[in-house]
Amino acid sequence: MKKIFVLAIGLLFLGTAMAQIEPVNKEMRLRSILQTFHQRDISQKQLNPNYPVATAPKDGPSSKGLNLPANNWFPGEWEEVKAITVTCYYEYLVPGHENDGYWYADPIVNGYAEYYHYNNGWQQSGGGPYVAKPATNAAEYGDFVNVFFYLMDAIQMGDAEAWVRIENAEDSITIKNKLTSMNLRTNKLKWIIGPGNSFWFRDCGPIAFYYGDQDSVGMVDFGYYAGRALDDSLPTLIEQQMGLPNYITMVKWEGGNCVVDGAGMVLSSDAIYSGNTSTYGQYTWDGSNPSSIRLTSKPSLSHQQVKDSLEYIMGPRGCHIIPAFQYDGGTGHVDLYCELVDENEFVFSKFPNHYSSWVDYKTAAKNIDSLCSYTSVFGNNFKRHFIPFPCTNAGGYFSSQTSYNNNFTRTYSNHTFINNVIAQPCFSAVVDGEPSAEWDRLRIDSIRAAYPGYTIYPIDVRSFDGSGGAIHCITKQIPADNPVRILHPSITGNTENTYSNNDAPITATITNKSGIESAKVVYRVNGGQWNEVSLTAGSNNAFNASIPTSTMTATGEGYTTVEYYISATSNNGKTITKPMTAAQGGYYTFYLGHNPAAGIDAADDQTFGQFYPNPATDHASIALSLNGDEQYEVLVIDAMGRIAHRSTLNASGDIVYNINTAKFNSGMYLVVFQSKDNRIVRRIVVK
């Protein structure tokens, strides 16, 4: 599986690969070592037989059994965060060979590493103390190392603290100097000092939750891969240095395979089962003496026991286990194509129709239908939205599913929410805050449409190609203090005649440890002035109001656009909006009547080019390659969601489609090509 730092299998593969490269080339050396890590798999053969098995569970002065405190709940990833944990890439070196590319160290426990020497292939050669060095020079190591620093900047941009794990206290100076040299932020950094050898914090880090009457923050530490105690050191370091209690379970589970709705539902793929059939636990030691290393044992769990455990720990409203992808870099992780943006709606990466023969195309379609058939905390089926699938560097299709799996595993879904910012993977060089490739920019535009109000922070992650993960996989959220929690069954999309004669009911459950002083719905019609309606408190923290839709009349387009958000203020003075991005234009939007462009998904088809010239003055043209089987309705939609132009396209072959832009006002427009089965979105700017 991906992101596994258990060194044994893959050395033969690496030796063959390394015979063709010069190990002292740091970038190639880094890539070769990472490729080895990604090839590893858990098996009994990989557990060092010299380390005896202990009967005690994972021990240590900070460990707690899994008797979770009462009144606990696990927030969704879109909710307010205090911090995001991250690290930089570290080189682990053999003392006396720090500048020798033919040696590297693989830390096992604090202060002790196994040594590997390149001699016509990497071979284990003893062990002992190691030197940990932050890798900061992209000229030496490649763009891979810079991803972590851009991520630290994005975290701070989202008004959260970047909790950066470092090996040594003095490494903080190196990292701050690096950020300063890149003109990146350094004002909200905090340091977690201690050993580790993994940057896949999503998987080896804790899953945080709230508990008790004061909404205190705690952590659940699920088991990570056997044999890599330092991979699993982060939760204990956070507990010791940041004061968050850590509750340890022997159930093995990686955070990239976890999605929660913030209201008691949890989902995962069936990849969780394989890691829990083994009886191998984790290595433990006294924190300093390598001779104290012991391999713990754990019970083998059946599928039902795994599912029951997840429901007991964090899914009282239910646990759903869906089939894992076969070609996803070996992870089985749902975060590669699926996430919840709130307690009502999923966003999925959508495979292009060109990949319809792929096994995972069919698995995805079934999983999406299953997930959207489940009921939310309000008893409604989950809504769905789509974002596009990445391309090759040239903007084309991947040649095969196995090629995609072995060499790329790209996804736009593997991003991280940081309050009102999204740290977003992209796949071309970022210039002035935008991807440089046109196809990449186009897809980022679609992502902006899917996440209204969020500031998108693109980070080029091509250096992660083939690893099976990216930004989401190397970060972990720490929830905000003093949460104002709002659960709300949102009204979005076309409502036809549902609210034409009746006002639209707005209900919400709103809580805070100090109580709620006031709450309101803020709404506007067709982009006009904002209006407010107070939410009236009822029993069990329920609040109710109505938007007076029965008094609204449809526009000339045949529908009326209603935008709204909820604002709540606690008795201790904290105000939160729902959506959180309301101040940046992230509103719930619904239509009285029928807007034919509503629910635009971001599914993209590479037979559609891009408009040129763009920006346009008198006209804009686009090259299309059509098979003639589908008729498209073409809608030009302005920034207010109004249809500025409508026409029909019924053609085949390679054509150039023209739009007369002279009659349009200056601004940005979406052009929607809409058929029975597809919606293709392009953007033009009119000067």
Task: Decide if 115 contacts 127 (C-beta within 8 A).
Answer: yes
pLDDT, position 14: 33
Closest CA to 457 of 142, 162, 684, 76: 162
The answer on pLDDT for 669 being more than 90 is: no
Q: What number of residues does the chain have?
A: 687
The SS3 assignment for 131 reads: strand
How does pLDDT run across 212-264, given as a tens digit for each residue?
999 999 999 998 876 666 777 899 899 999 999 999 888 889 999 999 999 99
CA separation, residue 149 to residues 155, 162, 253, 463 (Å): 10, 10, 27, 14
Mean pLDDT is highest, among 198-207, 433-442, 508-517, for 508-517
CATH number for the domain whose boundaries are 485-593: 2.60.40.10
Beta strand segments in 427-535, E: 430-431, 434-435, 455-460, 476-479, 485-487, 493-494, 504-511, 516-525, 531-534
Q: How confident is the model at residue 36 (pLDDT cuts 50, 70, 90)?
A: low
Beta strand segments in 343-420, E: 345-349, 383-387, 416-418
pLDDT, position 63: 39
Top pLDDT among 300 and 22 is at: 300
Top pLDDT among 24 and 262 is at: 262
The answer on pLDDT for 436 being more than 70 is: yes
**Phi and psi for 396 in degrees, rounded to 5?**
-110, -170
Top pLDDT among 645 and 457 is at: 457
Mean pLDDT is highest, among 41-50, 189-198, 589-598, for 189-198
Q: Rg of the Cα trace of the chain?
A: 26
Give the contacts of 308 (CB within 8 A, at least 6 positions apart). none
22-31, 103-112, 514-523: least confident range: 22-31
The answer on pLDDT for 578 being more than 60 is: yes
Q: Which residues of 438-470 are buried (b: 16+ CB within 10 A; e: fewer)?
A: ebbbbbbbbbbbbbbbbbbbbbbbbbbbbbbbb
pLDDT, position 439: 86
Q: How confident is the model at residue 631 (pLDDT cuts 50, 70, 90)?
A: confident
- How far, in Å, CA of 265 to CA of 316, rounded? 7
- How far, in Å, CA of 424 to CA of 440, rounded? 12
- How far, in Å, CA of 42 to CA of 282, rounded? 12
Task: Decide if 493 contacts 500 (C-beta within 8 A).
Answer: no
pLDDT, position 608: 77
**Which residue stretches of 325-458 are H helix?**
359-373, 401-407, 438-450
Name the β-bridge partners of 620. Answer: 659
How does pLDDT run across 380-408, given as a tens digit for each residue?
999 998 898 999 998 888 999 988 988 88
pLDDT, position 62: 36
The answer on pLDDT for 317 being more than 80 is: yes
Dihedral sign computed on CA atoms, order 410, 414, 418, 420: positive
Top pLDDT among 32 and 203 is at: 203
pLDDT, position 55: 39
The answer on pLDDT for 207 being more than 90 is: yes
CATH number for the domain whose boundaries are 619-686: 2.60.40.3080
Amino acid at 676: K
- How far, in Å, CA of 344 to CA of 11, rounded? 46
How does pLDDT run across 55-83, given as a tens digit for each residue?
333 333 333 557 889 999 999 999 999 99
What percentage of residues in the chain have a pLDDT greater than 70?
A: 86
* DSSP structure string for 203-268: HHS-EEEEETTTTEEEEEEEE--TT-GGGG-HHHHHHHHH---EEEEEEE--GGG-EE-SSSEEEE
Task: Decide if 280 contacts 47 (C-beta within 8 A).
Answer: yes
Q: How confident is the model at residue 601 (pLDDT cuts 50, 70, 90)?
A: low
Task: Decide if 88 contacts 175 (C-beta within 8 A).
Answer: yes
Q: How confident is the model at residue 266 (pLDDT cuts 50, 70, 90)?
A: very high
The answer on pLDDT for 140 being more than 70 is: yes
pTM for this entry = 0.87
pLDDT, position 56: 35
Please count the other Cβ atoms lying within 10 Å of the Cβ belonging to residue 200. Answer: 25
Q: What is the DSSP letter of 382?
A: P
pLDDT, position 599: 67
- How far, in Å, CA of 23 to CA of 468, rounded? 24
**Which residue stretches of 40-71 are H helix?**
none
Average pLDDT, the chain: 86
The answer on pLDDT for 4 being more than 70 is: no
Give the contacts of 282 (CB within 8 A, at least 6 positions apart). 58, 223, 224, 226, 227, 228, 229, 232, 295, 296
Q: Which CATH superfamily is domain 11-58+83-479 in?
A: L-arginine/glycine Amidinotransferase; Chain A (3.75.10.10)
- How far, in Å, CA of 657 to CA of 564, rounded? 36
Please count the other Cβ atoms lying within 10 Å of the Cβ belonging to residue 213. Answer: 8
- Residue spans of the domains in the chain: they are 11-58+83-479, 485-593, 619-686
- How far, in Å, CA of 63 to CA of 82, rounded? 23
The answer on pLDDT for 293 being more than 90 is: no
Q: What is the DSSP letter of 672?
A: E
Closest CA to 242 of 258, 271, 219: 219
The token duo for 341 is 């943006």
Task: Decide if 99 contacts 502 (C-beta within 8 A).
Answer: no
Task: Decide if 453 contacts 342 (C-beta within 8 A).
Answer: no
User: Same CATH fold, 619-686 and 11-58+83-479?
Assistant: no
The answer on pLDDT for 10 being more than 80 is: no
pLDDT, position 249: 87
Determine the average pLDDT of the residues in 544-573: 91
CA separation, residue 298 to residues 42, 276, 284, 430 (Å): 15, 9, 13, 46
Q: At what angle do helices 144-157 and 171-181 cross, to 10 degrees?
A: 80
Please count the other Cβ atoms lying within 10 Å of the Cβ belonging to residue 231. Answer: 25
The SS3 assignment for 668 reads: strand
The SS3 assignment for 554 reads: coil
The SS3 assignment for 151 reads: helix
Q: How confident is the model at residue 354 (pLDDT cuts 50, 70, 90)?
A: confident
- How far, in Å, CA of 161 to CA of 82, rounded? 6
pLDDT, position 606: 58
Give the contacts of 260 (CB within 8 A, at least 6 positions apart). 74, 75, 76, 77, 266, 267, 314, 315, 340
pLDDT, position 646: 86
Determine the average pLDDT of the residues in 526-531: 93
